[in-house]
Structure 1
Amino acid sequence: MDWGPLTHDDAQPLADLWAAMEAEDRTGEVLGVGDVAEQLSHHLIDLAAGTLAARDDGRIAAVGYLPVRQSAEDGVHVMSLWGGVHPAYRRHGLGRRIVDWAVRTAPGLGHRAFPGVPVELQLSAHHGNPGLAALAVGAGFAPVRTFADMRRSLSDALPPLRTLPGVSIATWSPELDDGARHVRNESFRDHWGSASHTPESWAGAITGTRNFRPESSFVALAEGRVVGLLMTHFFDERSAQRGEREAWIQIIGTLKEWRGKGVAGALIAHALAAFARQGYGSAGLGVDTENPTGAVSVYGRAGFRITDRRTTYALTVVEGEPGDEARAGVHE
C-alpha cells in the first residue's frame, strides 16, 4: 500500500470507493463524482493534513477525511471522521490505521482552528455495519447518540395545508438567506452536537452546494422576519439508486419562541405539496432520535417513518502544546 493524502485529482477513484462500499453496506450513502469533487474542494478541509488514503495500484483501498468545524460550541471542538475501507481490503487493519491516524491528527488540526480548545472526535456507524461499530469501540470510542433517517412516499395522502395567523410561507431567495441562517443557528442552539454556521460554512454546506434546491426550500415569515425554515437538497446518485426522485429535507428549524405554534408542521405540509408538484416521488430527512423539540413526532404526524438508524461514537482528545502527544479518553 502507498499511504498519503488525497488530491483534487482523486474525485473519480474516491467515487469508485464510495460505490464499492455502498454496494456492500447498503447504507444509502451514495456519492457521485460531482459530490466527491465538492468534498475535495471544501473550504474546511486541508487535503495535505486532514486526509489519508491507502492506494493499491491506482485504486483507493481506504480513506480518512477529517475536516475542521466552522465553530466550537460549549468549549469543545467537534470533528467528524468520514471514510471507509473497500470491501476487498477489509479485515487487514486498514480501518484501524485510519482511525489511529485521525486520533493523532485531530488535536493538531483543532489547535490551528481553536487554540487550547479540546477536540471531540466523532464517527458514525450505520446499524447495518457492525464491523465499523466494533472498530470504533475497539479504538476507545463510546456510543453517544442515535440518529435516524425518515422517509415517506409522496403518492400517499399528504398532510393538509395549514394557514397560521400572522405567518406566511415564502420560497427561499437570496434576500431571505441571512434570516434563514440566523434561524438555523438559533433554533439548533439547544440541539446536541450542533455548531453555528458562518456565512462561509452555510454557503459551503447548504446554499452553495450542487445539491441545493432553492425552488424546494421555504421560510416562514412573521411581520417580514424569518421565524422558521426548511432547506432541501437533491442527491442525484442516491435517487438513481432508489429508482425515484427523492427530495431530502436537509434542515428544518423554528425559532424557540415560535415552537408549539404549528410552524414546522405548516412548512412541512407546504414543502411536501411542492415536492409532489415538482415531480419528486418521495421525501426524506435525518433526525436526532433524542431531539428535545419532539421532532420525531412532528415528522411522524406528517407521514414520515424511520427507515435507517446510525449511532455516533465519540472520543475526547485533550490538546497540549503543539507537537505534544495527544491524550485521548472515552467520552462520558
Structure 2
Amino acid sequence: MTTVDSSTGLAPIAERAAAPASLPSITAGSLTWRPAVPDDAPALLALRNTIAETDDEPYRESIEEITELFEAPWRRFDTDSLVGVDGEGRLRAYGTVESMPGDTRTVRAFLFGGVHPQVRGQGIGRELFAWQVARGRQVLAASGKDLPARLAVMAEDDGPASKARLYERAGFTPRRFYSDLRRDLRDLVAAPLPDVTLDGSLRLVPFAPELDDAARLAHNDAFRDHWGSEPQTAEQWTSSRSAFVPAWSFLVLDDAPDVDALLADADTDAETAASLRAGEPLVVGYQMADRFDEDFAVRGYSFGYTALLGTRRAYRGRKAAVAALAAGMRAMAADGMEFACLDVDTANPSGAHGMYAGLGYEFTHGSRMLSIEL
C-alpha cells in the first residue's frame, strides 16, 4: 500500500522513483564498459568535442572543464558514469548521471552522454540511455529526499532528430525552453551601454573573493522563485571556475540594509539571516562572467559570457542587476570582446527578457530541457 505524505501529497521518493534492482546491460557495439576515471579526461574531451562538432553544437570544451568534472566531490563517477571503450582502447561513448547536493525543493538527476559518430546506428545510444535512466531512478530513490523529483536531459533546439526521438520514446517531455542571446560590443559610441545610477545605499563594486559567499547567498535568494532552480551549497558555488573571469564580474552591495525588516521577512533564508546578524556585507545584485576561448572559432566572434545574473527579491526594481551587467559588458569590451552573451529561461519570472532587449541583446539560438517528473 502506498503511503502519501499529507503535507506534499506525494508518495515517498523510494516508491515514486521506481528504481530497478539492477541496471540493464549494454551489449550493442561490442564495446567494453567501465566507470570513467580522471585519467580519461583527455580522451573524454576529444570524444565530447567530436560529438559537439558533428552535431553542430555552438560550443567546445577545454581540458580544464573536463578535469573539473572529476574534482567536484559530490560527483560519483564510480557508480554514476560509464564509458564505452573499443578494442583499440578508444573512448566511443559516455554517459553520466549527476545529482546536486543543494536540492531542497526538487531532487534532480541530470543525464549527460553521447556516442562517437563513427559508431552510431548500432543501438549503443539507446542502450546507454536506458542505463542512465535506470541509474537516475536509483540515485533519486537513494536520495531520501521526499520532494518532487525530476529526471532531466538538455538538448539543442536544432540538434539531431534521432536524439530527440530517443528522449521522447523514453518518456521525456519538453518542459523548459532557453534562449541564447548576444549583444554587440564593437561600437559603444553608436550603441552605448546605459549609465546606471543606484539609489540609496546601493553601491556597485568589482568582484572580490571576500564577497564570493555573499554573492552565493544573493543568488540563492534571487532564484528561489525560478522554475528548476535549487540553492547552491558553498561547495557547488566555488566549483568549476576554470572559465571564471573576476575582472568581468561585478556586485552591488547595500551598505546600510534594513536588517530588522529583512530578518522579519519570512522569505529571508537562514544563511542570509545569520550573515545579517553577523554584520557581514549584503550583496543584493551580481553578474558573474566566464570566458570560453574554445567557442570563439565555432561562433565566429569573441565574447564574454554572463554565467549568472540576478537581484535579491527584496531589491528588484532598483536596477542592481542592470548596473552589474552593464559594468561587466564594459569590462568585456575593454578587453577586446566583440560580443556579450548569455542565456535566459523563456519563462523567467523577473522580466529579464524585456531588460535584455532594452540593452540590445538579440536571439542567436535555443535549447530545451526535457524531463520525467516524479
Q: 1:175 to 1:55 in 2, by over 3 A?
A: same
Residue number among 297, 309, 312 corresponding to 1:255 in the alignment: 312
Q: Does the alignment pair 1:306 with 2:306? A: no
The 1:164–1:116 alpha-carbon spacing in structure 2 relative to 1, beyond 3 Å, is closer
For the pair 1:63 / 2:94, whether they are aligned, the reply is: yes
Q: For residues 286 and 300 of structure 2, what CA distance do their matches in structure 1 show?
A: 28
Residue 294 (structure 1) aligns with: 351
Query: After the TM superposition, which of the residue ranges 294-303 and 113-122 deviates more from structure 2?
Result: 113-122
Q: Do the aligned residues in 1 keep the contact of 2:205 with 2:250 (CA within 8 Å)? A: yes
1:178 equivalenced with 2:213 (yes/no): yes
- For residues 127-276 of structure 1, what are the structure 2 equivalents within 5 Å? 127-129=157-159, 130-156=161-187, 157-166=191-200, 167-205=202-240, 209-223=241-255, 225-276=282-333
Is the CA contact (8 Å cut-off) linking 2:251 and 2:287 kept in structure 1? yes
Greater Cα shift, 155-164 or 300-309: 155-164
Question: Which residue is 2:269 aligned to?
Answer: none
The total of aligned residue pairs comes to 313
Q: Which runs of 4+ in 1 moved over 4 A?
A: 115-118
2:224 maps to a residue whose letter is R
Q: Distance in 1 between matches of 2:183 and 2:119?
A: 36
One-letter amino acid of the structure 2 residue matched with residue 141 of structure 1: F
Distance 1:181 1:101 in 2: 34
User: SS of 2:244's equivalent?
Assistant: coil
Deviation, 1:81, is: 1.0
Render the CA deviation track for 1:38-68: whole Å, top value 9, x for unaligned: 1122222111111111122222221112122
* Alpha-carbon distance in 2 for matches of 1:53, 1:177: 35
Q: In structure 2, what is the Cα distance between the partners aligned to 1:195 and 1:94?
A: 33
- Report the Cα distance in structure 2 between the residues aligned to 1:41 and 1:100, rounded to whole angstroms: 26
Q: Counterparts of 1:118 and 1:185 in 2: how far apart (Å)? A: 19
Deviations 1:163-192 (A, max 9, x none): 122222111111211210111000000001
| 1:104-160 Cα distance to aligned partner (Å, 9 max, x none) | 111332344445556411001101112221111011111111111111221142322
Give 1:326's aligned residue.
Answer: none
Distance 1:315 1:139 in 2: 9
Q: Is the 8 A contact 1:126 1:310 kept in 2?
A: yes
Between 98-107 and 245-254, the greater mean CA deviation after superposition:
98-107
Shift of 1:279: 2.2
Measured in 1, the distance between the counterparts of 2:163 and 2:55 equals: 11
Question: Is 1:77–1:114's contact at 8 Å kept on the other side of the alignment?
Answer: no
Distance between the aligned counterparts of 1:89 and 1:153, measured in 2? Answer: 40
Match of 2:46 among 16, 24, 40: 16
Could you say if the C-alpha distance between residues 188 and 118 of structure 1 is closer, same or farther in structure 2, counting changes exceeding 3 Å? closer
> Aligned equivalents of 2:179 and 2:73: distance in 1?
28
1:234-272 residue CA offsets vs partner (Å, 9 max, x unmatched): 112123433543211000010112112222222221111
**How far did 1:216 drift?**
1.1
Judge conservation of contact 1:79–1:120 (CA < 8 Å) in 2.
yes
Deviates more, 1:300-309 or 1:262-271: 262-271
The 3-state SS of whatever aligns with 1:161 is coil
- Residue 171 to residue 282, structure 1, CA distance change in 2 (3 Å): same
Amino acid of the structure 2 residue aligned with 1:229: Y
Asked whether the equivalents of residues 229 and 254 of structure 1 are also in contact (C-alpha less than 8 Å), the reply is: yes
Q: Tell me the TM-score normalized by structure 2.
A: 0.79
TM-score normalised according to structure 1 size = 0.89
Partners of 1:31 and 1:255 in 2: how far apart?
A: 32
Aligned counterpart for 1:285 among listed residues 302, 319, 342? 342
